[in-house]
Amino acid sequence: MLIVAGFFLASCAATKTEQGGDSDATSASASSSSGGEIKAGTQEDLIVNVGDRVFFEFDSSELTVDAQATLDAQAAWLMQYPDTNITVEGHADERGTREYNLALGDKRAFSVYSYLAQAGIDTNRMEYVSWGKERPEVIGSDETAYSQNRRGVTLVSN
């Protein structure tokens, strides 16, 4: 399979760009979507109507029952929009070393990726990447933050 660099549009405040930014600009290029209708087949549609992410237990890359249900819905959604490509991001909480968490994030991303592949999504439509503990969703040094940060996020990349 091929893993290609993917640009994606962050179309909702809940989703952040993971492009790193330049040295001064640290603001995400998320465009606001307040009001108006949700366009079908977009990241916003995925977030609102399907769920863009799954969560993992501490130091685990196994998909929970809840996670599998979310991914079944994602697979159905991806079937419905066959022109949609995605990047799956794997993330870890901060309570591990940088390197171990990169490995863990990759296993998490791959768990999501391969579940979707087994559900019938063409792997040519999918990429995956680990961000280890580098891009927390929630800032904070407590379990509330950690449980939100141990995640696999599906991002529409076109």
Partner 1 sequence: MIKKILIILFFSLNANAALEVTIAQGKVEPTPIAITQIFGADSDTARYGNTLRQIISNNLKNSGLFYTVNEDLYIQSENLVEKVPRFEDWKLIKAQFLLSADVSKIDKGIRLRMRLYDVFNTKEIEKLQLTIPDENLIRRVGHTVSDIVYERITGETGYFDTRIVYVSEIGPLDQRVKRLAIMDQDGHLDSHQFLTDGKNLVLTPRFAPNKQLITYMEYKNNLPRVYIYNLKTGEREIVGDFPGMTFAPRFSPDSQSVIMSFSDPNNAANSEIYLMDLNTRSRSRLTNDSGIDTSPSFSPDGEKIVFNSDRGGSPQLFIMDKSGNNIKRISKGRGVYGNPVWSPRGDLIAFTKLTQGNFHIGVMDVNGNNERVIVRDFALESPAWSPNGRYLIFHRQKRSNLDGTGGEVTIHFIDITGYNERVIPTPRDGSDPAWSPLL
Q: What is the DSSP letter of 30?
A: P
Find out whether 128 and 3 touch, Cβ atoms under 8 Å. yes
* Ranges within 62-91 binding partner 1 (CB under 8 A): 87
Residue that the structure tokens 């769920």 belong to: 51
136 binds partner 1 (CB under 8 A): yes
35 binds partner 1 (CB under 8 A): no
CB 134, min distance to partner 1, A: 6
C-alpha pair distances (Å), 87 with each of 8, 51, 60: 8, 15, 20
30 binds partner 1 (CB under 8 A): no
Site string for partner 1, 137-156 (x = CB under 8 A): xxxxx--xx-----------
Element (H, E) at 147: helix 143-149
41 binds partner 1 (CB under 8 A): no
